[in-house]
């Protein structure tokens, strides 16, 4: 039995628009490409690997289909050289618990080498950030006009790449958390703007949404065809109250914690916890309040997706909620000593961020990344059902899953399974 991968390389300039890496699919002598999966084992240090949509960053330890692997894109951030590594596996592979290590079966390692050079020819963009309160009126995003070494701003072309929205994993349908407008008219993915239009854009949060960190992205192209990526981070914070944080780069304090569980324990009713993007390990259930005293808190991943990895034995799930708790930009994973379930057919609608509002006595059990709320019946191959943004008021479990976020992308499907009321 033989499984092989093909090395790849890519050279880009700092700040380039997402560029397809062109990774060849793994090849197995006994299984088709559709039967193969890929585990991400290492990310580059000089840029970011995205799914084919150019919006969804790839996470370390996540599973991809062979189709997703071949569609990956890359954006360089600093001058240097680094690599992206992965392990291709076929259906015979067994994964060691709480790792990405293949304990038995057929696998093959793959490597992509990236070289990022200085941007001396293409447009230069400036990252922007805007924070508004829930229900705010249209507010200027404040995007700085891009520059180019040879072309004046009037000669540059701006194309909208990603909007402030989240995509539901099962349906793949994006749901807006706000609207970006130009002179009162909504802009859409693919719209072509002038630099003057770009600097005039405004953001209006969706009514009722709070504690979100999302992004508007665009590309800028000059007359020579050089293209660069531009981003604007759009935050919707609660109208009032102290915000707790989970940030390992800051010291532990009464408002900053180094574990999600500690922050949840300290939170009071209605409070918001902002968790810095990254991977956090969980060894026991995180209980959010009790049935008698629910907390109704909001957990928000900021700066990207937060991946909670179960490394212990849980009595019910990573999160056990007892009120109307909202979880934004979180994903859940666990590596099992078993063959992962089959990969469902990919959806075709792009999305960017994940939101789940969890209602009343709900359990979210270990799963593999990208959470959503839907209803499905448990089976060896997870059943797919329409997603909603609020789970029913019963205990629920998230099955092994992957959240697709981009055109023609999917890995595994997430399901919320009705179980029991605690």
In a domain, 35, yes or no: yes
Q: Is 60 exceeded by the pLDDT of residue 375? A: no
Q: Are residues 384 and 278 in the same domain?
A: yes
pLDDT digits (tens, 9 = 90+) for 198-234: 999 999 998 877 777 788 999 999 999 999 999 999 9
Q: Are residues 365 and 248 in the same domain?
A: yes
Count CB atoms within 10 A of the CB of residue 133.
Answer: 14
Of how many residues is the chain composed? 422
In a domain, 122, yes or no: no
**How many angstroms separate the CA atoms of 23 and 26, rounded?**
9
Q: Are residues 286 and 138 in the same domain?
A: no
Beta bridge partners of 330: 306
Q: Look up the CATH number of the domain holding residue 85.
A: 2.60.40.10
**How many angstroms separate the CA atoms of 375 and 387, rounded?**
7
**How many angstroms separate the CA atoms of 373 and 411, rounded?**
17
pLDDT digits (tens, 9 = 90+) for 241-263: 678 889 887 889 888 999 999 99
**How many angstroms separate the CA atoms of 263 and 297, rounded?**
11
Tokens of 19: 């560029």
Query: Among the three residues 204, 236, 268, which one is the final residue of a domain in this structure?
Result: 236
- In which residue are the tokens 């009321």 written? 421
Average pLDDT over residues 233-241: 77
User: Nearest Cα to 298, choosing from 231, 373, 242, 247?
Assistant: 242
Range 100-105 contact pairs with CB under 8 angstroms and sequence separation of 24 or more: 100/39, 100/40, 100/41, 100/61, 100/335, 103/337, 105/339
| Contact assessment for residue 411 and residue 400, using Cβ atoms and an 8 Å cutoff | no
3-state secondary structure of 90: coil
Predicted pLDDT of residue 99: 59
Average pLDDT over residues 399-415: 32
Q: Are residues 21 and 102 in the same domain?
A: yes
Helices vs strands, H then E, count in the chain: 3, 37
Poorest-pLDDT segment among 59-63, 89-93, 321-325, 388-392: 388-392
Q: What's the whole-number average pLDDT of the chain?
A: 76
In a domain, 324, yes or no: yes
Predicted pLDDT of residue 196: 96
User: Nearest Cα to 35, choosing from 71, 3, 57, 60?
Assistant: 3
In a domain, 123, yes or no: no
**How many angstroms separate the CA atoms of 408 and 345, rounded?**
9
Q: Look up the CATH number of the domain holding residue 135.
A: 2.60.40
Reported as a pLDDT band with limits 50, 70 and 90, residue 166 is low
**How many angstroms separate the CA atoms of 422 and 409, rounded?**
36
Category of 61 on φ-ψ map: left (φ > 0), alpha (ψ -120 to 50) or beta: left
Q: Is 60 exceeded by the pLDDT of residue 171? A: no
Number of domains in the chain: 3
**How many angstroms separate the CA atoms of 9 and 22, rounded?**
9
Q: Are residues 290 and 407 in the same domain?
A: yes
Query: Among the three residues 117, 141, 172, which one is the final residue of a domain in this structure?
Result: 117
In a domain, 286, yes or no: yes
Average pLDDT over residues 305-319: 80
Q: Are residues 248 and 226 in the same domain?
A: no
Q: Are residues 229 and 359 in the same domain?
A: no
Predicted pLDDT of residue 116: 96
Write the burial class of residue 386 (CB in 10 Å: 0-12 exposed, 13-18 middle, 19+ buried).
exposed
| Contact assessment for residue 301 and residue 279, using Cβ atoms and an 8 Å cutoff | no
**How many angstroms separate the CA atoms of 95 and 273, rounded?**
33
Q: Are strands 8-13 and 107-117 parallel, antiparallel or unpaired?
A: parallel
In a domain, 282, yes or no: yes
Predicted pLDDT of residue 385: 30
Average pLDDT over residues 27-47: 92
Q: Is 60 exceeded by the pLDDT of residue 300? A: yes
Reported as a pLDDT band with limits 50, 70 and 90, residue 174 is low
Q: Are residues 43 and 23 in the same domain?
A: yes
Reported as a pLDDT band with limits 50, 70 and 90, residue 334 is low
In a domain, 379, yes or no: yes
Q: Is 60 exceeded by the pLDDT of residue 354? A: no
In a domain, 406, yes or no: yes
User: Nearest Cα to 15, choosing from 51, 46, 44?
Assistant: 46
Share of the chain above pLDDT 90, in %: 41
Q: Which residues contact 77 (CB under 8 A, 6 or more apart)?
A: 14, 15, 46, 47, 48, 116
Could you tell me the residue range of the domain that residue 155 belongs to? 128-236
Q: Are strands 107-117 and 80-89 parallel, antiparallel or unpaired?
A: antiparallel
Q: Are residues 40 and 185 in the same domain?
A: no
3-state secondary structure of 153: helix
| Contact assessment for residue 299 and residue 273, using Cβ atoms and an 8 Å cutoff | yes
**Neighbouring C-alpha atoms within 13 Å toward the C-beta of 167:** 29
Reported as a pLDDT band with limits 50, 70 and 90, residue 404 is very low
pLDDT digits (tens, 9 = 90+) for 12-35: 999 999 999 999 999 999 999 999
Q: Are residues 30 and 150 in the same domain?
A: no
- In which residue are the tokens 């002038």 written? 194
Predicted pLDDT of residue 57: 85
Write the burial class of residue 191 (CB in 10 Å: 0-12 exposed, 13-18 middle, 19+ buried).
middle
Query: Among the three residues 236, 266, 290, which one is the final residue of a domain in this structure?
Result: 236
Average pLDDT over residues 161-170: 68
Q: Are residues 255 and 391 in the same domain?
A: yes
Q: Are residues 291 and 401 in the same domain?
A: yes
């Amino acid at each position: 039995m033989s499984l092989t991968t093909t090395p790849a390389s890519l050279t880009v300039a700092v700040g380039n628009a997402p560029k397809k890496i062109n990774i060849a699919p793994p090849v197995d002598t006994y299984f088709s490409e559709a039967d193969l999966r890929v585990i991400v084992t290492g990310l580059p240090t000089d840029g970011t690997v995205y799914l084919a949509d150019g919006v969804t960053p790839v996470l370390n330890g996540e599973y991809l289909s062979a189709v997703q692997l071949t569609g990956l894109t890359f954006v360089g951030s600093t001058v240097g050289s680094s690599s992206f590594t992965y392990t291709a596996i076929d259906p015979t592979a067994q994964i060691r618990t709480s790792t990405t290590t293949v304990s038995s079966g057929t696998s093959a390692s793959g490597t992509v080498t990236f070289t990022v050079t200085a941007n001396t020819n293409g447009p230069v963009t400036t990252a922007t950030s805007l924070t508004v309160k829930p229900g705010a009126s249209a507010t200027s995003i404040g995007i700085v006009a891009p520059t180019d070494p040879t072309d004046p701003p009037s000669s540059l072309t701006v194309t909208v790449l990603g909007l402030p929205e989240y995509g539901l994993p099962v349906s793949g349908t994006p749901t807006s958390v706000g609207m970006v407008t130009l002179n009162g008219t909504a802009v859409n993915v693919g719209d072509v703007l002038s630099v003057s239009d770009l600097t005039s854009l405004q953001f209006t949060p969706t009514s009722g949404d709070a504690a979100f960190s999302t992004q508007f992205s665009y590309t800028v192209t000059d007359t020579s065809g050089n293209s660069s990526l531009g981003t604007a981070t759009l935050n919707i914070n609660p109208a009032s109250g102290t915000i707790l944080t989970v940030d390992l780069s800051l010291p532990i304090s009464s408002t900053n914690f180094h574990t999600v569980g500690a922050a949840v324990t300290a939170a009071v009713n209605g409070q918001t916890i902002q968790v810095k993007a990254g991977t956090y390990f969980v060894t026991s259930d995180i209980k959010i309040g009790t049935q008698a005293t629910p907390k109704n808190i909001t957990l928000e991943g900021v700066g990207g997706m937060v991946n909670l990895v179960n490394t212990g034995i849980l009595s019910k799930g990573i999160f056990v909620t007892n009120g109307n708790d909202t979880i934004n930009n979180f994903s859940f994973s666990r590596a099992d000593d078993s063959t992962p379930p089959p990969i469902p057919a990919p959806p075709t609608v792009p999305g960017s961020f994940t939101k789940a509002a969890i209602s009343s006595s709900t359990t979210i059990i270990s799963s593999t990344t990208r959470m959503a709320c839907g209803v499905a019946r448990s089976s060896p191959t997870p059943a797919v059902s329409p997603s909603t943004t609020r789970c029913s008021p019963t205990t629920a479990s998230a099955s092994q899953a992957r959240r697709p976020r981009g055109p023609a992308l999917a890995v595994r499907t997430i399901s919320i399974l009705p179980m029991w009321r605690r």
